Amino acid sequence: MAAVVEWSPGYVPADVSGAAFLMQRELQWFEVLEDKSPPLIKSLKFEVKEDKSSPSKSLELKETKQRSGKTYWGVFVEQRKDLVKEAGQWMKDTSSSCSVISTLIFTVAFAAAFTVPGSNDRGNPVFQKGDSFLVFTVANALSLFSSVTATS
């Protein structure tokens, strides 16, 4: 448990694409180790001292009986406050980008709904009897509805 708490949240593995995914991975790692540890370890309280001599800002955890001591979970959360802020900003930026893309898809799907492929022959589309026209209509309707849902 001490290794999880002391592990630097600044290290990002190559397969993690954003701060939110890094936070998710660290939470999963903490939960797995917490589940596998004895119940007594979960309730231990520690006095937290930062090691000023080490450039990596490692922690020194000393067991204490005082109420002001922190559990492993408390130290874990305190160490990752910056990561939580960064993950929140990453989520906002990602959702903003997705909204722009879904608006563009909605615009194209809306225009395609009123612009029938081929031409009109006495008010009816030329390709109306073909299977490809049905596929086009269903795909266009799905893209229109899904982009509207994603935008709202």
Give the least confident one: 54-63, 68-77, 83-92.
54-63
Whole domain around residue 40: which residue ranges? 17-50+57-115
User: What is the reported pTM?
Assistant: 0.57
pLDDT given for residue 4 in this prediction: 65
**Element (DSSP H or E) covering residue 5:** helix 2-6
Mean pLDDT on 113-120 = 72
**Would you give the distance in Å from CA 54 to the centre of its chain?**
32
Q: Is residue 61 part of a domain?
A: yes
pLDDT given for residue 73 in this prediction: 78
Q: Is residue 68 part of a domain?
A: yes
Q: Is residue 146 part of a domain?
A: no
Mean pLDDT of the chain: 75
Q: Is residue 151 part of a domain?
A: no
Choose between 115 and 60: higher pLDDT.
115
Q: Is residue 135 part of a domain?
A: no
Q: Is residue 74 part of a domain?
A: yes
- Per-residue tokens: 103: 């608006």
Residue type at 107 in one-letter notation = T
Residue 75, pLDDT above cutoff 70: yes
Residue 59, pLDDT above cutoff 60: no
pLDDT given for residue 55 in this prediction: 47
Per the structure, the count of domains in the chain is 1
Q: Is residue 71 part of a domain?
A: yes
Q: Which residues of 70-94 are buried (b: 16+ CB within 10 A; e: fewer)?
A: bbbeebbeebbeebeebbeebeeee
Residue 14, pLDDT above cutoff 70: no
**Element (DSSP H or E) covering residue 47:** strand 45-50
19, exposed or middle or buried, with CB in 10 Å at 0-12, 13-18, 19+?
Answer: buried
